[in-house]
């Protein structure tokens, strides 16, 4: 579909979904966002749903300002995927051992490594820039620096919620490795700190929603936020790269006879800020629950733990600020999902997938998410599908 345009206070709201299907809370958030004095455009992805401050599935373009809540608290959260030389014929009938080995290699939930991972010992991992990245830790917000040891030990860990590691098959039977995570606790600490700082600033006192507080260009507060933001985005990218290297190591060992090889890794953020130019203007574009889909850009759009995911290539649609959805998107809150579904429902909805099927992940039941096929159909003018994947193993945080 093409987008539907709704009137906004300062800019039109371009929606790649039926506005009638969007819950009232998310619609009000979008209207609130469109009142910001610095806004130059607002695009809404088909996986749109209510978030804190800014709506999940929104792409906000502003000039001379950035809203930390429009990035979200998991700065740099995103996806990585890689195609392997394995095929379905190489897989054992029982995949429980493989899931166990993945869980042993990659800490989940609030877990962390006993000692920081040495990237120099990881097969194929480029350590270029690694030392400089950690040296810049001394420049982040002083109130968060005491987290350095934890940040180091959480590098290469999954986290909780909707973060996952998956072993997938495409429609031709080729095996893909895929994972979803972000900047872990250090990113959240930085996000919470700066959202709080922005709310105190005088120019934000008259906003319709103080959670939409912004930093203004050429101010010390903006400079501090940008420094911490870009560091956390880099942390998230390294985190996924280390996890992928650990994942590949598990696969090499478990399928030693197959001598597994890997194609180049595809990686993309979906909670981040980028400096981009549109209509002759230099803008700060925040994507909260959206990926960049410039012409030829590879991206990853996951469904739920019982459906499937898509590897895509961007079509470069400027109306969406070269963006696309980051996934299926929730259609019910976590608490609503826990009230609605039982462990039996979860087991039925994840039939054929080697994964947790206990009460701890009922809120991630596929029924809590929008149908990924419909989401993909609504953004045919934003991306083209390269591969459709179906998970056979899913490790949840």
- Catalytic center residues: 326
Give the pairing of strands 13-15 and 39-49: parallel
Quick one: tokens of 254? Answer: 């478990």
Residue 185: exposed, middle, or buried by beta-carbon count in 10 A (0-12, 13-18, 19+)? Answer: middle
Residue 234: exposed, middle, or buried by beta-carbon count in 10 A (0-12, 13-18, 19+)? Answer: middle
For 38, 222, 225, the CA distances from 219, given in Å and listed in that order, are 15, 5, 10
Measured on CA atoms in the order 86, 106, 101, 124, is the torsion positive or negative?
A: positive
Cβ atoms of 391 and 167 within 8 Å: the answer is yes
Q: Within its chain, how far is the Cα of 99 from the centroid?
A: 22
Alpha carbon distance 288, 71 (integer Å): 5
For 1, 225, 237, the CA distances from 136, given in Å and listed in that order, are 44, 14, 15
Residues 6 or more apart whose Cβ sits within 8 Å of residue 64: 38, 216, 217, 284
Q: Between 220-254 and 184-200, two packed helices, what is the crossing angle to 10 degrees?
A: 160
Nearest to 366 by CA among 397, 339, 326, 329: 329
| SS3 call for 380 | coil
Cβ atoms of 211 and 53 within 8 Å: the answer is yes
Residue 111: exposed, middle, or buried by beta-carbon count in 10 A (0-12, 13-18, 19+)? Answer: middle
């Amino acid at each position: 579909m093409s987008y539907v345009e709704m009137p906004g206070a300062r800019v039109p709201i371009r929606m790649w979904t039926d506005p009638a299907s969007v819950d009232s809370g998310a619609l009000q958030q979008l209207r609130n966002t469109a009142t910001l004095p610095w806004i130059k455009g607002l695009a809404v992805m088909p996986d749109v749903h209510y978030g804190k401050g800014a709506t999940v599935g929104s792409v906000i373009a502003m000039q001379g300002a950035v809203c930390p809540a429009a990035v979200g608290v998991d700065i740099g959260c995103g996806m990585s995927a890689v195609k392997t030389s394995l095929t379905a014929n190489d897989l054992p009938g029982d995949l429980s051992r493989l899931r166990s080995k993945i869980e042993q290699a990659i800490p989940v939930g609030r877990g962390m490594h006993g000692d920081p991972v040495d990237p120099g010992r990881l097969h194929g991992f480029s350590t270029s820039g690694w030392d400089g990245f950690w040296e810049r830790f001394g420049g982040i917000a002083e109130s968060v620096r005491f987290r350095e040891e934890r940040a180091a030990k959480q590098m290469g860990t999954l986290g909780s919620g909707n973060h996952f590691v998956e072993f997938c098959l495409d429609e031709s039977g080729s095996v893909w490795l895929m994972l979803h995570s972000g900047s872990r606790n250090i990113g959240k600490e930085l996000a919470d700190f700066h959202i709080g700082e922005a709310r105190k600033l005088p120019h934000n006192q008259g906003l319709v929603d103080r959670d939409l507080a912004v930093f203004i260009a050429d101010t010390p507060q903006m400079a501090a936020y940008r420094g911490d933001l870009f560091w956390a985005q880099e942390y998230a990218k390294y985190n996924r790269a280390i996890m992928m290297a650990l994942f590949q190591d598990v696969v090499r060992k478990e399928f030693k006879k197959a001598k597994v090889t890997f194609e180049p890794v595809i990686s993309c953020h979906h909670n981040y800020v980028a400096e981009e130019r549109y209509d002759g203007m230099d803008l700060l574009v925040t994507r909260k629950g959206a990926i960049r889909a410039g012409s030829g850009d590879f991206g990853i759009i996951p469904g739920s733990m019982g459906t499937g995911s898509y590897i895509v290539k961007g079509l470069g649609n400027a109306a969406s600020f070269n963006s696309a959805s980051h996934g299926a998107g929730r259609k019910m809150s976590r608490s609503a999902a826990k009230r609605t579904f039982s462990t039996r429902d979860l087991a039925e909805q994840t039939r054929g997938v080697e994964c947790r099927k206990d009460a701890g992940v009922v809120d991630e039941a596929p029924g809590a998410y929008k149908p990924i096929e419909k989401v993909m159909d609504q953004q045919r003018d934003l991306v083209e599908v390269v591969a459709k994947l179906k998970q056979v193993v899913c490790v949840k945080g």
